[in-house]
Amino acid sequence: MKHILYASDLENGSRVVLHAAIEQAIQSKGRIYFLHVSEQFHRGQDETLGGFRVKKAHDKHLESLKTEIRAYMKQRIHNFVAEELEQSEFDAEQIEVIVTFGEPAKKIVEVAEEIEAQMIVMGDRRVNALSRLFLGSTAQKVIHSASTPVLIVPISNTIKQVKVGA
C-alpha cells in the first residue's frame, strides 16, 4: 500500500489538489495522510513575562490553545473531505488527518519521513517565476528538502480555469 502525504493550507484551490491526491491513491491503492500545518505561535523571547510561574502558565495556555485549534481544524478537514468524497469512489476511511504546528515546509518533510510517504502532493500558488525567486514558496522548499517525490499542482492556473469555465 502506498502512503501519500497531502499537504494543505485549506485555502482556495485546495479542492483541486485533494482530487489529485485522491487520483494517486486510487491508482496505487494507497492511503492519504491529510496534513495541515499551522504556523507556530509561541511566547518567544519576551522577558516582560517575568517569573517562572507566569511563563509556565503561559506555556500551559498555549498548549491548551493548540489542542483546541487541532480539534477545530480536524473537524473542518473531516467536513471538507466528506463533502469532496460525495461523488468519489474513494473511501474516507483511507484518509488520516494530521494537524501540527511549526514551519510548514519543515513539518511537511518531517511528517513525510515519519509516515514513510512514497509521495507528497501539494499545491503552489505562486503566480510567476519572479515571485518564486524572491519570496520562495513552501512547495519549493519541500522539493529541495524532501527525499520523497513531490507532485506539485499549480493552483493559480486551476482557479483561473474554473472561473473561466463557470
The string of pLDDT tens digits covering residues 133-160 is 655 688 889 999 999 999 999 886 544 4
Residue range 5-22: mean pLDDT, rounded? 92
pLDDT value of position 93 = 92
Contact 123, 17 (CB under 8 A): yes
| Of 159, 163, 161, 151, nearest in space to 24 by CA | 151
User: Does the global pTM surpass 0.85?
Assistant: no
Residue 8: pLDDT band by 50, 70, 90 thresholds?
very high
Query: Rounded CA gap, 92 and 96, in Å?
Result: 8
**Bridge partners of 34?**
6, 97
CATH topology of domain 3-165: Rossmann fold (3.40.50)
Tell me the domain boundaries of the chain: 3-165
Single-letter residue type at 22? I
Geometric angle at alpha carbon 60, from 114 and 50, rounded to 5° = 125
Cβ partners under 8 Å of residue 77, min gap 6: 8, 10, 34, 36, 97, 99
Cβ partners under 8 Å of residue 111, min gap 6: 5, 33, 35, 98, 100, 117
Q: Which helix or strand (DSSP H or E) is residue 35 part of?
A: strand 31-38
Phi-psi region of 10 (alpha: psi -120 to 50; beta: other; left: phi over 0): left
pLDDT in tens, 92-108: 999 999 999 999 999 99
